Structure 1
Amino acid sequence: MDNQIGLYIHIPFCQSKCYYCDFASYANKNEQMASYVSALKEEINQYGILLQNHQINTIFIGGGTPTVLSPHLLRTILQSLFHNFNIKSEAEITIESNPGTLDLEKLQLLKECHVNRLSIGLQAYQNSFLKDLGRIHTVEEFVQNYYLARSLGFDNINIDLMFSLPNQTLRDWMDTLKNVALLNPEHISCYSLTIEEDTPFGQWEAEGRIKLNDAEADRAMYHYAGWYLNKMGYKQYEISNFSKAGFLSKHNLVYWTYKPYIGMGLGAHSFYNGERYHNTYNLDQYIKLSGSIAVLKEDAEKISLPMQYAEYIFLGLRLLEGISVEQFNHTFQVSFEKLFGKKIEKLVKLGLVENNKNIIKLTPKGLDVSNTVFAEFLPE
């Protein structure tokens, strides 16, 4: 039995909330940071007992902006993880950060506490766009933080970028990609801006105050990223992710290959023993419940077999290497051909997937309409 599992730790604090963000995160709640970490530490203790027979192969600390926490609170969390879990010596341990929240003391602490992968949210290489997004940092601060991390020996850095921003041209996007690729990070993620209703951007779009790129401009930016980053030595291995050889995000692969993971912290999601659930989204309640995993848990749902098939397929199809029919049959002890043969034939005819020696993958055309392809596998 595979006893490996991934951990996700959610830190819901930010210096200020970006205009597009609808994650469970808060600005100006600094006075609750210590009590939050105290509750999180207790949740870590409880999961440590539950998962004592598991090995941890990836940890991802996300947010929010985890690096807004003080060095003392960051150390508390990281030490607590190592104290309570059986973490493999080669485990990938990632922390998300924003430029302007990293300094020498914090980076040294992260290094000491075995964080070996930094994910830095840059988004754009023009200060005007950063301001328009509600980011708190400048490009100059990003470059400074990046070189500081390099000087301390961080040799696995991801940079998050966003395209299809209001008023962004293809030339602006090309400029962002070029400048970032020249820094030579190990991994680059490129996400198309999506507008969520309950955000300032959602409101401004409804009021006609911001104009978004049309689908054609969005796809032109996406295709350019694929072409250019490949030319610069990055292999696209997932819809939005590009990496140097050997630097794929092991934690995200846990999600895409349908492996179990436990989420700790406010609103964090888990997938464990065929069940999906999440923690409360209410910050005061999370703190009050002091990490009691039985009562933090909400919307627990046993995933039906047809839904497991569908999730396995559409998560796996996010990866450019696709899914193996043989692996699917082995995992579920059923016949992929019997269940989905006709659907695959139809998608192949439409030019959206290819079936090569029983490896099913999206075509370039399929990548552009991936959600339409995924919907084909949902239980009827």
Structure 2
Amino acid sequence: MARGVYIHIPFCHQICNYCDFNKVFFKNQPVDEYIEAVGKEMQMVVHNMPDQFDNIETIFLGGGTPTALSAEQIKRLLDLIHKYIPTNRRIEFSSEANPDELTIDKLKALYNGGVNRLSMGVQSFDEELLKKLGRTHSNEHVYETIEHAKSVGFQNISIDLMYGLPGQTMEQWEDTLNKALRLKLPHYSAYSLIVEPKTIFYIRYAKGKLNLPSEELEAEMYDLLMRKMEENGLKQYEISNFALDGYQSTHNKIYWDNDEYAGFGAGAHGYLKGERYSNYGPIKRYIDSVMNSGRPLLQTHKVSIEEMYEEQMFLGLRKNEGVSVKEFERKFGVHLKDLYGETIQQLEKDALLINDGHHVKLTRKGRFIGNEVFQQFLIED
């Protein structure tokens, strides 16, 4: 049963140099037709699987950039969501946003349409680094937009930050953290740069023209991040996420709990009834499929029980609380130690995991090499 709904808005006014998500330039795109197609896809899926949508906890608008839409387009999208997605109680309703696109009219359209959480892509408070990233906002945009959002009624505001950027120094990263924390927001996310294929950064990297920090410096940046957040009363609840009590992201927790969610829109991914799926990415192909053929499925994959075990570990270990031994047994009917007992013991000896009998979780040392730890839980054929 789905706990959450993800809706992909693939339009951007500017393409960032590091982004590999499904996106297109906004200009000359069939935006209104796309919104109607998303509404029809929601209608079809909910009609065919009504039992999957009885306990929706979150809705998340991602992209691309949802705030690339006009205020009227945002209102139409939210009307369609409320028409087709059953929400009989107050839920977490999030939207990603760019600081230089959130006008008062758009903020009011979001808030009046039920959105109660904003996740803004700030990335850095160093404006030279912002230019390298391909971002178009300034620090003033961030400050003004947060004030405007609060004046409209938003209290749950998060910003995304990035470290390990080309040419970034420790001094620049510390300055960004200090400026971000002075905003006194209830939630922060901070991610190390991953150079993904099909991005401008990847092309530069392949040519040897991307000056990335060393692994040692990146680890120091992560250590500083954790210390700064703790000093400011923000609890780390996942490898890259920090929040005041009561402001943890419910939507992202669905992913880390390895629970099911519906994905709508071009290039969206979902996980329903034990099956992972992805939609067509090209806008026209997506719209034509929805309007003329039915669900716009590019591919589906029935998840095997071995993959479920692996994903429960990979994703659950990202959380500070780790993987619940009791929940693992409830979900799969097998005890964690019967599958991974030797692996867990070895990782404990290496001081990378803690097993208190109730949860298996990363140590502080383990957080620095999380991906290496996760790989130990692959089940060999």
When the two structures are superposed, what TM-score results if normalisation uses the length of structure 1?
0.96
For 1:183, what is the secondary structure of its paired residue? coil
Q: Which residue is 1:46 aligned to?
A: 44
AA aligned to 2:9 is: I
Q: Which residue is 1:94 aligned to?
A: 94
Q: Which residue is 1:327 aligned to?
A: 327
Whole-Å separation in 1 of the counterparts to 2:282 and 2:152? 37
Question: 1:258 deviation in Å?
Answer: 1.4
Whole-Å separation in 1 of the counterparts to 2:74 and 2:379? 43
Matches within 5 A, 1:191-230: 191-230=191-230
Contact 1:46 1:293 in 2 (8 A): no
User: Kindly tell me: are residues 154 and 218 of structure 1, through their superposed partners in 2, closer, same or farther at Cα, counting changes over 3 Å?
Assistant: same
Any idea what the Cα deviations from partners look like across 1:196-236, whole Å, max 9, x if unmatched? Answer: 23211111122232200010010100110000011011100
Between stretches 284-293 and 175-184, larger displacement belongs to: 284-293
Whole-Å separation in 2 of the counterparts to 1:31 and 1:268? 18
User: Kindly tell me: are residues 61 and 293 of structure 1, through their superposed partners in 2, closer, same or farther at Cα, counting changes over 3 Å?
Assistant: farther
Question: 1:49 deviation in Å?
Answer: 1.3
Any idea what the Cα deviations from partners look like across 1:268-287, whole Å, max 9, x if unmatched? Answer: 11111111111011221001
Whole-Å separation in 2 of the counterparts to 1:293 and 1:369? 45
Q: Which residue is 1:339 aligned to?
A: 339
Q: Which residue is 1:360 aligned to?
A: 360
Contact 2:22 2:267 in 1 (8 A): yes
Whole-Å separation in 2 of the counterparts to 1:309 and 1:294? 32
Any idea what the Cα deviations from partners look like across 1:11-70, whole Å, max 9, x if unmatched? Answer: 000011001111101114443211111211111211231343323210000000100111
Question: 1:357 deviation in Å?
Answer: 2.4
Whole-Å separation in 2 of the counterparts to 1:193 and 1:88? 39
Contact 1:40 1:291 in 2 (8 A): no
Question: 1:317 deviation in Å?
Answer: 0.5
Any idea what the Cα deviations from partners look like across 1:64-116, whole Å, max 9, x if unmatched? Answer: 01001111211111111111121142210000000111011110111110100
Whole-Å separation in 1 of the counterparts to 2:313 and 2:282? 33
AA aligned to 1:191 is: Y
Any idea what the Cα deviations from partners look like across 1:297-351, whole Å, max 9, x if unmatched? Answer: 1221111111101101111110011112121111111122111111111111111
Q: Which residue is 1:309 aligned to?
A: 309
Aligned positions, number: 378
Does 2:19 align with 1:21? yes
Q: Which residue is 1:163 aligned to?
A: 163
AA aligned to 2:21 is: F
Contact 1:41 1:291 in 2 (8 A): no
Question: 1:295 deviation in Å?
Answer: 4.2
AA aligned to 1:147 is: E
Contact 1:6 1:56 in 2 (8 A): yes
Query: Equivalent pairs: percent with the same residue?
Result: 39
Which structure 1 segments of 5+ residues have no match?
none
Does 2:133 align with 1:130? no
Contact 2:328 2:336 in 1 (8 A): yes
User: Kindly tell me: are residues 377 and 366 of structure 1, through their superposed partners in 2, closer, same or farther at Cα, counting changes over 3 Å?
Assistant: same
AA aligned to 1:366 is: G
User: Kindly tell me: are residues 56 and 36 of structure 1, through their superposed partners in 2, closer, same or farther at Cα, counting changes over 3 Å?
Assistant: same
Q: Which residue is 1:271 aligned to?
A: 271
AA aligned to 1:220 is: E
State the superposition RMSD in angstroms: 1.4
AA aligned to 1:118 is: L
Whole-Å separation in 2 of the counterparts to 1:49 and 1:180? 43
For 1:100, what is the secondary structure of its paired residue? coil
Contact 1:38 1:290 in 2 (8 A): no
AA aligned to 2:356 is: N
AA aligned to 2:357 is: K
AA aligned to 1:106 is: K
Does 2:8 align with 1:10? yes
User: Kindly tell me: are residues 188 and 131 of structure 1, through their superposed partners in 2, closer, same or farther at Cα, counting changes over 3 Å?
Assistant: same
For 1:44, what is the secondary structure of its paired residue? helix
Which structure 2 segments of 5+ residues have no match?
none
Q: Which residue is 1:284 aligned to?
A: 284
Whole-Å separation in 2 of the counterparts to 1:60 and 1:90? 14
AA aligned to 1:31 is: Q
Whole-Å separation in 1 of the counterparts to 2:291 and 2:158? 30
AA aligned to 1:50 is: N
Any idea what the Cα deviations from partners look like across 1:173-201, whole Å, max 9, x if unmatched? Answer: 11111111111111100000111232111
Whole-Å separation in 1 of the counterparts to 2:196 and 2:276? 23
Contact 2:100 2:137 in 1 (8 A): yes
For 1:90, what is the secondary structure of its paired residue? coil
AA aligned to 2:106 is: K
User: Kindly tell me: are residues 379 and 293 of structure 1, through their superposed partners in 2, closer, same or farther at Cα, counting changes over 3 Å?
Assistant: farther
AA aligned to 1:136 is: T
AA aligned to 1:47 is: V
Whole-Å separation in 1 of the counterparts to 2:253 and 2:13? 29
AA aligned to 1:33 is: V
Question: 1:290 deviation in Å?
Answer: 2.6
Whole-Å separation in 2 of the counterparts to 1:293 and 1:334? 41
Q: Which residue is 2:33 aligned to?
A: 35
Q: Which residue is 2:251 aligned to?
A: 251
Contact 2:325 2:358 in 1 (8 A): yes
Between stretches 321-330 and 264-273, larger displacement belongs to: 321-330
